[in-house]
Chain A
């Protein structure tokens, strides 16, 4: 902390949320995984859920998420967070169970688990960080990579004839009867970040009210593997991801509107 102290007449209007540990994260500078963490922590604080939330961390850059939050937490196998969360939630139905997953984790290796968790209406909340790439393993193509996107495993750009088109998980999961709330937001500027926070609050409230499966997809940056500066990466989300991944609410069950 800086050595400055605030004069009496100033009030703190924003500070680090309590649900975040007082620790340093391993994320690259400007990576919006950090923003997603902060929003989740703020939402948990605001709803007073810290002492009954259990976080299921993924395999991906967020593998240490359980170290960054001051919550009970565990670490799932790659893609299996929804199954692990199902085990936790079924054992402790009155706790709040949150998975935090990347797009490789959720849309590729774990596509089956997320689909069935939504299908069962599993009362968990999913924070889905879509950065259109495999971050942790060094920038390979994900099922969410954009057409033509150059990655280390699609060096000439994603060829949709060979590898298909980006998978839109929010649209897909919204089709499941069991999903109560599915929304896509973006982390590319402050206004959108504020909207993302609201969506995360809603997702947690949906779980608290026992309404079903809830997920917030967050369009997120990977400056390192996109080979852009943090601010260029935010612009890349806006320019390239938004047209493929339209923001919005994909599923809002009637009961959710009454919350």
Chain B
């Protein structure tokens, strides 16, 4: 499985939760402690285990086009890439 991550535009997100429902890895949550300028609780990646595969299903359903999806490039033979974690990326 490839490793991936997503970035969610916190100001554009309307917290509709559709991405949460479709994510096969269940790694998106609504951040109820945060309110954006339009008073929505935005969604965010919550993936301490690095399970996001970068499949982009969340981005396909997002009505507000606020998800950017990143993914590892395909593995080069014999060269393993370390799995990115959210902590590393912050």
Contact = CB atoms under 8 A, between A and B. Distances in A.
A221 to B, nearest CB: 9
A44 interface: no
Given A7-B84, A24-B11, A32 B69 contact: no
Nearest to B58: A190
22 contacts: A1-B9, A1-B10, A1-B11, A3-B90, A6-B89, A12-B70, A13-B4, A13-B56, A13-B70, A14-B67, A15-B68, A27-B64, A29-B14, A30-B16, A34-B65, A190-B22, A190-B61, A230-B63, A231-B17, A231-B18, A231-B21, A234-B18
Given A13-B56, A230-B63, 7 more contacts: A1-B9, A1-B11, A4-B86, A7-B89, A10-B5, A16-B65, A27-B64
B22 A10 contact: no
B73 interface: yes
Contact of A6 (B17, B57, B59, B70): B70
Contact of B7 (A1, A33, A37): A1
Nearest to A230: B16
Interface in A186-209: 189-190, 193-194
B8 A2 contact: yes
A5 interface: yes
Contacts, number: 110
A16 B61 contact: no
Interface in B64-83: 64-73, 81
A31 interface: yes
Contacts of B88: 7
Given A1-B10, A11-B70, A11-B71, A38 B81 contact: no
A20 B65 contact: yes
Contact of B90 (A4, A31, A37): A4
Interface in A19-44: 20, 24-25, 27-35, 37-38, 41
A17 B62 CA distance: 13
A254 interface: no
Given A9-B84, A190-B61, A14 B56 contact: yes
B50 to A, nearest CB: 12
B5 A6 contact: yes
Contacts of A11: 70-73
Interface string B10-49: 1110111110011000000000000000101000100000
